[in-house]
Every structure is written in C-alpha cells, then in structure tokens.
Amino acid sequence: MSSISEFKNFISRLLLVGAAGALVAFGISLTMAKKWQVSGKVVIFPSGKPVSASQNLSEEVGNTAWIVNSDTFQKGNFGDLSADFVGAEVLKNSSVVLVKFRSPEENIEAVEDLIVKIPSQVDEYARDLYDGSPFKYKMVSDPEISASPTRPNVVANSTWGAMIGAALYLFYWLFIESFVIGRVAKKEKDILPTFVSPEIFHLPEEEPVPAEPISYEPIPEAEPMPEPLPEIIPEIIPKKETRKIRPISKTGSAPDNLPIAEPEIPSAPTTSEYHEPSDEEVKERLNKLMRGEL
C-alpha cells in the first residue's frame, strides 16, 4: 500500500510541476512580439538554351534554394530584412522553391516587395555563375500572409514548458531526492547512537556506589507558649452620695440655727485594726486574683 501511495504522489507532483511549467511558458509567450509569416513561391524552368538545361532542371531547383539561403545572396539583396528571413526550401516533386520570412506587422509590406524581387535577383546571380541564362525564374503568385501570428506559438511553447517542467522534476526525483537526500538521511541514521545491552558483549556490570548518608541538623524545640493571663474584671466602686445644698433664699438671710457642715476627715487606722499580711495571705490573694474571684 505504501508503494502505491508513493507512486500516486509522484505522478500528482509530476503533473503539477508540468502544469506549472506550461503556465510559465504561456505567460512568457504573451509578452513576446507577434510575427506573421510572409512567403512566396518561385518557379524555375529552362530557357531553351542550351537544350541540356531541361535535363538538369531538378538539380537547378536545389541550386536555386541554395543560392537564396547563402549569406552572400542575403547580404547583397535582403539588407536589414535578412533578420526576418526564415529560409528557402524545395517543394517536394516540383520545380518550385518556397521562400519564407517571419516579419512583425510593421515590416509585412516591405517583405512582400522584397519577395517579388527575388526571381530577378536569382537570375542575375545565376547569370554571373553560369556565364549565361540557361534557366528562368518567376513568381507563381503574389506573396501570402498567414491569417494569425506564427510567433510566438503559444500552444507549442506551453507544451514545451510542460515537458521541461516534468523533466526537471523527474531529474530532481531521481538524482536529488532519491540519491542525495536519501544518502544524507542514511548518514544521519548511522550517526545516531545505538544502545546495546551489556549482556551482548559480556561487559562487566558496574557495582552500584552506595549513597552517602545525609546528615540533618536537629531542629531546636520551640519554647512553650506562655499561658494567657486571666481576664481582669475591673471593680466598680459606687459613687458617694453628695448632699444637695439648698440655695439661699433671695428674700432673707439664712436662719441662725442652721447646722454647719464640717468636712469629714478620714480616721487613720489604728494599730489594732491594721496588720501586715503574711506570705500565705499574699499567695492566697494572688491565686484568687488569677482565678478571677476577686
């Protein structure tokens, strides 16, 4: 299953790269200058002098095509239009030579005028070559112009682009992906460490090293928390009653027989009433105070 899927992936990528190459070639073809084919047919026939010229007519047709294709003839007769000249060829089983030019639209008329002059130019060239005129050269018809541009050939260029793209991907798959990348992956696999059991090579097992005991410092014990002191309830002392002093009447003076209030002087404790508490009494009083009984 894996091989079938890989083959399908290879075919899909090959077609995809081929389509990309065709698209690139199509785009480039649209940017190229358009040219039309302008052609003319020149017929060769013997002039009658000498009589043997008719026997050599087939050879002369080939010679005429060679004359038109020669650099000397093109330089002497075509001038700047020699760049548009495609070639001259003999039509099969005939005495006609087909002359072809590939010209941009602005040079089509000039190329037509040039093709019409070719028979007289060939006649003059052959006269110097043969020391006479054993053959005659004439146009079969007016020059012909193609109905549509022959350059660039969008269909042919797109086909070539697809073939070149597919060939490049095939080269990449055969020599780079399969050979170079495969070898790199194999080297990386060989470099990776392999873990082998020591029993295979009877390697001595290492004795485990005993771990050193870890010593911990004793944590000091925390000091006990002091017991909370009992809540001391403050003793409420009742307020002393105060005498209300009647205000002196505004109508008369105070009566003479009113008693005079003298300030009370606290009497000091006598030696018989006061005694210094003993240690037991002090401890008992502190215990009552801690228990909240006082």
54 inside domain: yes
140 shares a domain with 66 = yes
Number of other CB atoms surrounding residue 97 within 10 Å: 28
Q: Within this chain, do residues 40 and 115 fall inside the same structural domain, yes or no?
A: yes
The last residue of a domain, from among 111, 143, 176: 176
Name the domain count of the chain.
Answer: 2
| Cα dihedral 141, 147, 153, 155 sign | negative
247 located within any domain = no
Is residue 264, in this structure, part of any structural domain at all? no
End-to-end CA distance of the chain: 102
Q: CA-based angle 37:160:172, to the nearest 5?
A: 160
Q: Give the mean pLDDT of the chain.
A: 77
pLDDT tens column, 76-113? 999 899 999 999 999 988 899 999 999 999 999 999 99
* Whether residue 16 sits in one domain with residue 70: no
Which residue among 151, 184, 207 closes a domain? 151
CA distance 152 to 33: 7
pLDDT in tens, 140-188: 999 999 988 888 888 888 999 999 999 998 888 888 876 655 555 555 5
Same domain for 25 and 67, yes or no, is: no
Cα 54 to Cα 50, 59, 179, 193, distances in angstroms: 8, 10, 66, 90
Range of the domain at 8: 1-32+152-176
Query: Which two structure tokens, joined as six digits, stand for 10?
Result: 């290879």
Q: What are the tokens at 239?
A: 């307020």
Whose tokens are 């027989």? That residue is 257
> Does pTM top 0.85 for this prediction?
no
